[in-house]
Amino acid sequence: MQLLPLSPAMADAARTPAFGRRELLAFGAGDLAFNIIWGLMLSYLEYFYTDICLFPPACVAVILLCARAISIVADPVVGVVIDRRPAGRQALPLLRIGLLPFAAMIVLTFVPFGGPGGIARYVWACLTYMGLCVTYSVSNTAYGALTSLISDDPAIRLRLASARMVGAGCGTLLIAVLTLPAVDWLGHGDRRHGFMLFMVMVAVVVAALLGLVATLCHERARAHRDRQPVRVLARALLRNGGWLRLTGAMILVMLGSTFMFGALVYYVRFVLGGSDHDAGWILGAMNVLGLCGSVCGAALARRCGNRRLMGVGTCLCGTWLALAWMCPPSWPVTVVAMCLFGLCLGLCNPACFALLAEYVEQGARTSGVRTAGLAWALNSTASKLAFDGGGSMLAWLLAGYGLVAGDHAQAAGARAGIGIGFLAIPACAFVAAGVGVLLLCPRPATDAGRLLRKE
C-alpha cells in the first residue's frame, strides 16, 4: 500500500518547517495545559464534590461513571476521524476546533448549581462533567496523536515524550501548589465561589497554552493515500500485541494513580492530622522530583531502552507505596515515599509514551495500515475509563468504610479505608503494571538495535 508524504501536495510539504526547539517547547506546553486539568480532576474533583458541594460519596461515584460512559464512544470516534483525514491535517484541525468548547466546560464543571437539597445540582454536575469529558476527548486525543504525527523519527518522538512529561510535571506542580491557596484567596474563605473564579483563570491559561500547540506544531508523518475503512483500522490495531499489552499496563498505572491521588487529601487530613494545604505541598514536592526524573528519563531511555525503563520504574513506584503501607502512618514515611514515587514515575513516564509511539509505528510497518489516531484514542479511552472507574471504586470504598462527607473527624474504619485506597491498592496496581511490561511487552525494534550497537 502506497504511503504519501505529510502534505497532499509537494508545495505544502516544502513549506513545512523543520522540527526545532520552538516546536518542542510548544508541544510540551500542550501537556502542561492538559495536566493542569488532569491534576485538578485527579486530586480535587472528588474533594470538590464531597467537601464543597457536599455530595454523598456514592452519588459522586455514579456521576463519575455516567460521565465517563460517554468517552467510550467519543474517543474512538475522534480517533477514526483523525485516521481518515488527509495527511498533514489529521489532528491539528480537531485541536483547534475543540479548544474554546473545552475552555468553557472547564469553568462550568466547577460552577455549583441548585440548592443544597435539590436534585438539580446532581443533574448539573453530571451534565457539565460529561461535557468536560467530551471536549477533553476531542482535544486530548488530537494532541496525543501528534506524538506519532509530528515526526517518524524515534529520536524526535523520545524528545516529544520527554517534553510532554516535563510539561505534565509543571502542570501538576502548579495545581498542587496553587489550587487551594488561590481558591481561598479568590473566594475570601468561600471555596464554592473561589473554585469558580479560579477555574475561569485556569480556562484562560489552558486555552492560551493549547493555542501554542495549534499554531506552532506541524504534522510531518506519512499517511495512506486512501481513507481506510473503520474495520480495517480496528483489525490492524487489535493485532498490534505491543500496543495492547502496554495499554493494559497503562490502565493499571492510571487505576493506581487515581486511587493514590484521589485519597491523598483524605489521608493527609484524617490519617496524618494535617490540612488540605499540606496535601498540596506533598503533591508539589512529588512533582518537583517527577520533573527531575522526566529531565533525566530521556538519557536513561537511550541507555537501557524504553521498555526496560518503563517496567523497572513502575515496579519501583509500587515498591515505595508498599513499604509505606507496611509502616505505621507518619509524616516522614509519607513524605519520603511520595517523593521517591514521584522521582520514579518521572523517570519512566517519557519512556512509556515513547514506547507507545514505537508500538504504533511498528504495527503500521507490520500491517501496512497506519492507526495513529485510533491507537491514541483507544489508549486515552482506556486510561480515562480507569480514571473514572478508579474514582468510582475509591468513592465506594470510602463510603463502605464509613467516610462522612464534609466531616472534620472520621472514625477508625474510615481512616483504615483511606489508607487502603491511598497506599495498598496503588502499590499492587503499579507492581502488576511493571511486571507486565517486563514480561509481556515485546522489545521494540529501536531497543533491539540499541542492544546490537552495544554488543
CB contact at 8 A, 166 and 349:
no
Instruction: Say yes or no to pLDDT of 448 above 50.
Output: no
pLDDT at 449 > cutoff 60: no
The three cell numbers locating residue 51: 467537601
130-145 pLDDT tens trace? 999 899 989 998 998 8
* pLDDT for the residue 227: 66
Q: Is it the case that residue 340 has pLDDT exceeding 60? A: yes
Q: How far lies 81's CA from each of 28, 71, 85, 93, 365, in Å? A: 24, 15, 6, 11, 21
pLDDT at 332 over 90: yes
State how beta strands 3-4 and 223-224 pair. Answer: antiparallel
Please determine, for residue 353, whether its predicted confidence score (pLDDT) is greater than 80.
yes
Question: What does the pLDDT read at residue 223?
Answer: 59
State the pLDDT at residue 114: 66
Q: What pLDDT digit, counting tens, does each position of 288-312 carry?
A: 898 888 888 878 888 888 999 999 9
Instruction: Provide the residue type at 336 as one letter.
Output: V
- pLDDT bin (cut points 50, 70, 90) of residue 1 is very low
| Contact indicator for 125, 55 with CB cutoff of 8 Å | yes
Q: Which residues does 146 contact at the CB level (< 8 Å), separation at least 6?
A: 27, 30, 91, 92, 95, 160, 213, 217, 219
Given a cut of 90, whether residue 387 has pLDDT beyond it is: no
Give the global pTM.
Answer: 0.76
What is the rounded average pLDDT of the residues 42-70?
A: 81
Model confidence at 9, pLDDT cuts 50, 70, 90, reads very low
Q: Where are the domains of the chain?
A: 25-454
Output the pLDDT for position 217: 92
Architecture per CATH, domain 25-454, reads as Up-down Bundle (1.20)
Query: Of the spans 54-58, 141-145, 158-162, which averages the highest pLDDT?
Result: 141-145
Considering the chain, what percentage of its residues have pLDDT values greater than 90? 39
Q: How far apart are the first and last CA of the chain?
A: 35
Q: In this predicted model, what pLDDT tens digit does every residue of 232-291 receive, in sequence order? A: 888 888 899 999 999 999 999 999 999 998 899 899 999 999 987 898 889 888 888 988
